[in-house]
Structure 1
């Protein structure tokens, strides 16, 4: 099968439609003529011919009987001066017939044709429809005009053929265009390692070729970008780790200085050295965090005991709260026995958020930790009694390096803590929701993760 052009495909379907129309007309007209030949349909000419054949008989007959009237004709009898005498046409319509034929001298009116036969002492007027009619009385009552039925049938069948052929044509084009949409979707998702399947339609294949060139160029560009980013991340991470050693030496020597006899000025300088080295270590930790690519980090999903995880988490947070003179309200009600998650990432995420809550809670305040389970989702709710999130922080606090003077972003984390927590939640098919608690008056962070094959207690 060769490659087709769109215009040739369109012409093929157009010719198919034309052939279908021709077949429809031929079959219907053939059926019509067959019905005429067997007497199932009486054309107008046959009715007129029957009247002409019976005209002499009707003129000379002693008395007009209904059986003498030609088939499919109605009749009415008048005296010479126009008085109604009888017939199959009722008296109420007789005046109209007389006025049409005798007063106005017309042989047609409305949907009817008329034939006037003058007898010796009366006038006979025949009326018949100006169209072909069915011989069967039931069909004739349902379809007064066989000609109109033929026309309507042909039109309906042509319209049906048009709909069917258009559907087939649209389905054919849809399959070809689906190949384009598939390629576009894969490129949009940056899935660039695939072979493009040709559609064998010239115009679509041209677009596919253009998309293939774009795919290759984009893959090369992204490969270079990913390689450069990885190199920068590796260099940044290596540099940060290398800085740890001299900083540790500086801090250790500064601590040793305090064990010697120092003057007030020397002790002040030693304190500057120690404080600066601590601050530099925090900067180095920020560099290490920033060097990690959370999108490419491979999670280690396994069965995690919730009791063990919560015990480990509580042991770490209890000490942090005690140092800061903050009470911890631990409310863990219904939760699964085990979940499928990355244990280390989950601990890191929860500690990041809890540490942030402790840091922004004033002494004597409270941090509330709760767990809820709904619709195969696990929720960790962390609330504090601090001043809460600012409006801007509610929108941007989970963005990397977001800093704001009045924000809840920890100064010790430099806009990384909530970003890391949000990234970890996303890797567990979840999300982080930031809000301010109307009850506690402080901030409320809800961490939602998806449960996989949970076992509830």
Structure 2
């Protein structure tokens, strides 16, 4: 197993390596200058100073200044007794410095020299500490040696810094990519993969933590999958058990309808019972199909027709409890929906509202056409949703809320409604109004479809 190092170790190593590289390159630069000087390629940095000292020594025995004897690369200025410049090859800035040096010759200036002549004239010389090429051709085609060599030194230092930084970055990125691999496997619900290892201690600790998280997640998902399987079996069994009483209700209703002594209202109620038992059978079939993985195909649905079906069922539901149904607005246009599922989902919400609304009160249905969508609002006058219900009412089999708990309530109605609305690219919102609960259902309309 490779030895794991901490990030602090990597950073200190990075600094030490780069520090060593800088010192090494600086030493090479210094000794290369010495080597080139000894090999006759360049003059040493004090070459001009030596030439000036030799010139000064010779000029002390001369009576007049000879400009031709001034060494190359040396500036001069000849002053008379009034300190006016008689002759010079210096720049304007250099002349001012020479004049200042002439007035204050005792100041410590290492790159200036002066020579006094018998005729009281004075020459001031200015030289430079520079490494120069001996070959004049090199001096013309190449930059000054010091600038050139310093440029190469800086380039090599920067190059080494970039290389070592890239190496450190790649080492860290390789470890970071391990987290990406782990995340991808978890996102794809592949929880049997082997957690990779990192050579960086801190990353290895984080990967170990992710390994524990993966184990906990696998345990949780396995439990959840088992629970969902159990719930699916429960739904399937429930739908199967309900078919028998529904068949009996439907058959008995048919027999009762054969009685010629029924009143008009009784006949109407029996017909309603038969329609709803058939509808309930369709709901059970669709619920069983959904549990088995079979999904109803979506189609273009006339929203006005959809509203008529919803209102017919709503009127039958409120009639059983003598609840007043108030309807406002109409729907128009088309929507691409799983028609039977959507009807069942909305009826489930209305049935839920009827269940919790006391007799002789009212339920209000509001249909609103909005740009690109329609909104169906169901208002009841029941006890409203508790805080817990607002958070959990759309969960499958949830029925712990005491405010709206009714014996026999399966906890499937709002879950199914929310599931269907979501699958049809809509939204179901639960909230409380001033006198009861409110459920809002938004459904997207088909764009550019001709409306009735």
**Whole-Å Cα distance in 1 between the matches of residues 229 and 342 of structure 2?**
23
1:422 to 1:144, Cα distance in 2 relative to 1, 3 A: closer
**Whole-Å Cα distance in 2 between the matches of residues 38 and 79 of structure 1?**
43
**Displacement of 1:86 after TM fit?**
2.1
> Is 1:17–1:162's contact at 8 Å kept on the other side of the alignment?
yes
**Displacement of 1:163 after TM fit?**
2.7
In structure 2, the residue matched to 1:349 is 298
1:38 to 1:279, Cα distance in 2 relative to 1, 3 A: same
Q: Deviations over 1:74-115 (max 9, x none)?
A: 22223344343324336x568525522321215677xx8211
2:331 alignment partner, one of 387, 390, 400? 387
In structure 1, the residue matched to 2:99 is 99
Q: Deviations over 1:245-296 (max 9, x none)?
A: 33123212321332344343xx7556535523532443454455456668x9
**Displacement of 1:139 after TM fit?**
7.0
Unaligned runs of 5+ in 1: 299-344, 363-384, 390-396, 424-431, 443-457
1:288 to 1:134, Cα distance in 2 relative to 1, 3 A: farther
> Is 1:73–1:126's contact at 8 Å kept on the other side of the alignment?
yes
1:357 to 1:106, Cα distance in 2 relative to 1, 3 A: farther
In structure 1, the residue matched to 2:79 is 78
> Is 1:72–1:128's contact at 8 Å kept on the other side of the alignment?
yes
Aligned residues: CA RMSD: 4.3
> Is 2:111–2:127's contact at 8 Å kept on the other side of the alignment?
yes
**Displacement of 1:60 after TM fit?**
3.0
**Whole-Å Cα distance in 1 between the matches of residues 106 and 143 of structure 2?**
23
> Is 1:36–1:42's contact at 8 Å kept on the other side of the alignment?
yes
**Whole-Å Cα distance in 1 between the matches of residues 272 and 122 of structure 2?**
132
Output the TM-score relative to the length of structure 2: 0.63
Q: Deviations over 1:136-183 (max 9, x none)?
A: 668768998755655555445333322321222011101111101221
> Is 1:24–1:154's contact at 8 Å kept on the other side of the alignment?
yes
**Whole-Å Cα distance in 1 between the matches of residues 344 and 79 of structure 2?**
105
Counterparts in 2 of 1:107-126, with a 5 A limit?
113-121=111-119, 122-126=121-125
1:230 to 1:281, Cα distance in 2 relative to 1, 3 A: farther
2:276 alignment partner, one of 274, 279, 291? 279
> Is 1:114–1:127's contact at 8 Å kept on the other side of the alignment?
yes
> Is 2:239–2:288's contact at 8 Å kept on the other side of the alignment?
no
1:55 to 1:161, Cα distance in 2 relative to 1, 3 A: same
In structure 2, the residue matched to 1:233 is 232
**Whole-Å Cα distance in 2 between the matches of residues 18 and 94 of structure 1?**
40
The range that moved more, 220-229 or 125-134, is 125-134
Unaligned runs of 5+ in 2: 310-328, 334-340, 351-364, 368-373, 379-412, 427-441
Q: Deviations over 1:43-86 (max 9, x none)?
A: 44232222223333233346655542223212222334434332
**Displacement of 1:205 after TM fit?**
1.7
Output the TM-score relative to the length of structure 1: 0.62
1:247 to 1:230, Cα distance in 2 relative to 1, 3 A: same
Counterparts in 2 of 1:309-388, with a 5 A limit?
348-350=297-299, 353-354=300-301, 358-360=305-307, 387-388=331-332
**Whole-Å Cα distance in 1 between the matches of residues 134 and 108 of structure 2?**
22
**Whole-Å Cα distance in 2 between the matches of residues 40 and 14 of structure 1?**
36
> Is 2:26–2:153's contact at 8 Å kept on the other side of the alignment?
yes
**Whole-Å Cα distance in 1 between the matches of residues 41 and 443 of structure 2?**
79
1:439 to 1:278, Cα distance in 2 relative to 1, 3 A: closer
